[in-house]
Structure 1
């Protein structure tokens, strides 16, 4: 099944990216890690070979940091609003034409094989979720759209996955959940960072 992967990414710039990691890594180290994670996510998404890969960015698709990424992808702006409003707009735009996998760049374990597994699941269900260990999720796959799925939700809290499950159930959709993975957001999460991303961050 042809599936669009949309990666929501923040520009990997000092003071803007991975700000919760600055106490552990400093502004430059946090930005370097953000860029490595972005490149890794983009590489895995392209290698999954599911269909178009879209890099949906903030704050501005015209920034030079997006120009040297070595992959075949479509570059778009995230637009305004909170995370839910931005994801809702993407899902509304994509799902009439093809299923979509919405991901960020915070989970190095979201590999090409896991992306393929999620896309395959969408052939049998309406939505697929890869929960995060912090109570959020690292992937939400959809082949249908309803704005109630995204708004309002208290983003960046431990309620996100549970509330999303409840919304999907209320819509009468079929959901498949895959294995829970770790996001790399806070200093304590660095224990889960693969060694190939951990080299000379400070």
Structure 2
């Protein structure tokens, strides 16, 4: 099973920009670096194949940094970039903004795809922290990315109810920092 981790290069002023007011540009970039490294380690601990979908630097820089294969995300909105990663199924799609993600979450998601066409992990902010597909699904067009209805809009586009995993919290905005003081 392939896990595609969508992340960007941890460049000050371009990574975790919504956290800059609280952490400064360098602090937000450093937090993003730690989150990405944590997520790669979590995927590797799950025993699943980790593939980084990168942006903001050359693929080789990501491979040197993280020690796993990387592929450039390419152009387009998030939906177009996710759709490209989901051309080869089955796949689990994740980001690098969920400190509570564990290898057990990923193993449960992979196990779910053995008997379901889709699996999704809702996020407290109305999005999702994981989307897994075992069959093609038109779930990437017309989504209000970053909004509070991403989870609901995605589930509505699936032809059958997905397996729904635990609800987890993202670390995206200054208010989220209180939940993850040691991160």
The answer to whether TM tops 0.5 is: yes
CA deviation string 1:88-144 (max 9, x = no partner): 11101x21xxx1110000001111111001111111111111100000000001111
Which residue matches 1:8?
A: 6
Pick closer, same or farther for the CA change 1:175–1:29 going to 2, 3 Å: same
**TM superposition shift of 1:59:** 2.7
Q: Which residue number corresponds to residue 177 of structure 1?
A: 164
What's the TM-score once normalised by structure 2's chain length? Answer: 0.95
Selected match of 1:126 from 117, 134, 146: 117
Equivalent pair of 2:155/2:161 in contact (CA under 8 Å):
no
Alpha-carbon separation, structure 1, partners of 2:58 and 2:36? 14
2: CA distance, partners of 1:120 / 1:58: 29
Aligned to 1:58: 55
Q: What is the correspondence of 1:39-188 to structure 2 with a 5 Å cutoff?
A: 39-50=37-48, 52-62=49-59, 64=61, 66-69=63-66, 71=67, 73-92=68-87, 94-95=88-89, 99-146=90-137, 148-168=138-158, 171=159, 173-188=160-175
Q: Quick one: structure 1 residues 184 and 134, their matched pair in 2 at CA, closer, same or farther if it must change by over 3 Å?
A: same
Distance in 2, matches of 1:42 and 1:194, equals: 21
1:191 matches 2:178: yes
User: SS at 2:142's partner residue?
Assistant: coil
Is contact 1:100–1:143 with CA below 8 Å preserved after alignment?
Answer: yes
Distance 1:89 1:103 in 2: 14
Q: Any runs of at least 4 consecutive aligned residues in structure 1 with deviations exceeding 6 A, and if so which?
A: none
Give 1:31 deviation, angstroms: 0.6
RMSD, aligned CA: 1.4
Shift of 1:62: 4.1
Q: How many residues align?
A: 183
Q: Counterpart in 2 of 1:200?
A: none
